[in-house]
């Protein structure tokens, strides 16, 4: 058997540190960077490089990236290939981007399906404060442009929580009339304590409760006293998740209230669903029999937070789900 000399030995390339460089041209600048990292983090580039074209092999044959700025591309490269000074503590240099630089990273990472870098950029943008922080309307715009689903809900929520309302013309110009009208409908409903789209629009958010939140008023039991009931008036079948209400205004802003059974109102017909005579229920814990005419029950009412969440889901739920499917 003949021995293989040193000059004839074959060496396997190290997976992470055997780089083939590729040359990109962005605006009037050339960038020579490791090709394998683009293949690893982006299926767009992975597919591109599966079809050799000769482009990118040297400075005379670069891959030209149209529609992007060299500042955006440089920012992306600083995230993909950070200098050691950025990583070593107390080196005197850290990776500090402006808002525009992070937005450039988000834009390119979104365009080229760089999921982890996109998520990192969104996270860092969310940390920006003061004049660098993104405004609620801008957050909604960016959420739609780059499919960042949590930003859509966050932007809408921030608008609803603002003490000073955003002018309608700014709404329309930034997010469009359809979005503006939906957000204003939610704001009006929650801000005034009125829920739109219900059969009892005069009732406050703080007066609404689910049937499975009803508890015995004679003891501290957390046992559910109703799971199913048929309204005596409209014959609607009320189940554990059915929403009821009561007409009297709460004495405080807490979510726990004690009311008379006669005050409970069906969500469909706005009348008391329980018959006036006979025992409505017996508490499974203390065995007390409760009568509609004089018995007290404890209910857990909706907060404005829960009402707002429900309405955001009603008006924007499908869009948020769609963006989440694009991210997955």
Last residue of a domain, one of 108, 132, 159: 108
Write out the two tokens for 169.
């013309």
Please give the pLDDT value at position 250.
53
Residue 62 CA to residue 49 CA, distance in Å, equals 13
Residue 210 belongs to a domain: yes
User: Is 0.75 topped by the overall pTM?
Assistant: no
pLDDT of amino acid 91: 62
Q: Is residue 317 part of a domain?
A: no
- Residue 84 covered by a domain: yes
Domain contains 323: no
> Helix 149-161 vs helix 304-327: angle between axes, to the nearest 10 degrees?
160
pLDDT at 327: 63
Domain harbouring 26, CATH code: 3.30.710.10
List the domain range (segments joined by +) for residue 30.
16-108
182 within domain boundaries: no
Residue 299 pairs in a beta bridge with: 257
Query: What's residue 202's pLDDT?
Result: 40
Q: What pLDDT is attached to residue 5?
A: 56
pLDDT in tens, the chain (328 residues): 555 555 567 888 887 788 899 999 999 999 999 999 999 999 999 999 988 788 999 999 999 999 999 999 999 999 999 887 777 777 666 678 999 999 999 999 999 999 999 999 999 998 898 889 999 999 999 999 999 988 999 899 888 877 677 888 888 899 999 999 999 888 877 654 433 333 343 444 568 888 888 888 887 667 777 778 899 999 999 988 788 888 765 545 456 788 888 888 998 898 999 887 765 677 777 777 767 667 788 887 776 667 788 889 999 999 998 888 766 5
Q: Tell me the CA distances in angstroms from 91 to 6, 81, 84, 95, 229, one per residue in order.
A: 42, 17, 9, 11, 69
Residue-level pLDDT at 105: 98
pLDDT at residue number 63 = 96
Number of domain units in the chain: 2
Domain stops at, among 89, 108, 127: 108
268 is a domain residue: yes
What single string gives the DSSP state of each residue in 22-83? EEEEETTEEEEEEHHHHHHH-HHHHHHHTS--STTSSTTSPEE-TT--HHHHHHHHHHHS--
Of 54, 75, 108, the residue at which a domain comes to its end is 108
Establish if 242 belongs to a structural domain: yes
Q: What is the pLDDT of residue 234?
A: 94
Cα–Cα distance list, 164 to 13, 42, 159, 187, 209 (Å): 61, 42, 9, 12, 30
Q: What is the pLDDT of residue 4?
A: 54
Has residue 146 been placed in a domain?
A: no
**3-class SS of residue 274:** coil
């Amino acid at each position: 058997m003949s021995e293989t000399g040193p000059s004839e030995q074959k060496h396997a390339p190290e997976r992470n540190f055997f780089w083939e460089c590729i040359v990109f041209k962005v605006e009037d600048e050339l960038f020579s960077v490791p090709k394998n990292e683009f293949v690893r983090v982006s299926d767009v580039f992975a597919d591109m490089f599966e079809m050799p074209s000769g482009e990118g092999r040297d400075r005379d044959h670069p891959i030209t990236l149209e529609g992007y700025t060299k500042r955006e591309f440089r920012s992306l490269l600083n995230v993909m290939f950070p200098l050691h000074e950025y990583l070593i503590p107390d080196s005197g240099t850290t990776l500090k981007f402006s808002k525009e630089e992070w937005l450039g990273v988000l834009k390119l990472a979104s365009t080229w399906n760089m999921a982890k870098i996109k998520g990192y950029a969104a996270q860092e943008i969310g940390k920006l404060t003061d004049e660098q922080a993104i405004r609620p309307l801008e957050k909604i715009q960016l959420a739609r442009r780059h499919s960042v689903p949590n930003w859509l809900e966050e932007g809408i929520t921030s608008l609803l929580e603002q003490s000073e309302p955003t002018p309608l013309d700014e709404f329309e110009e930034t997010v469009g009339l359809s979005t503006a009208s939906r957000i204003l409908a939610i704001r009006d409903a929650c801000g005034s304590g009125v829920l739109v789209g219900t059969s009892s629009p005069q009732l406050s958010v703080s007066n609404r409760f689910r049937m499975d939140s009803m508890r015995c008023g004679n003891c501290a039991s957390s046992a559910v006293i109703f799971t199913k009931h048929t309204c005596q008036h409209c014959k609607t079948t009320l189940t554990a998740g059915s929403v009821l209400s009561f007409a009297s205004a709460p004495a405080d802003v807490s979510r726990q209230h004690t009311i008379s059974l006669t005050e409970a109102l069906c969500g469909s017909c706005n009348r008391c669903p329980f018959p006036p005579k006979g025992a409505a229920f017996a508490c499974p814990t203390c065995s007390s029999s409760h009568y509609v005419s004089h018995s007290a029950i404890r209910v857990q009412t909706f907060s404005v937070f829960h009402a707002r969440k429900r309405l955001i889901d009603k008006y924007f739920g499908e869009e948020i789900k769609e963006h989440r499917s694009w991210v997955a």
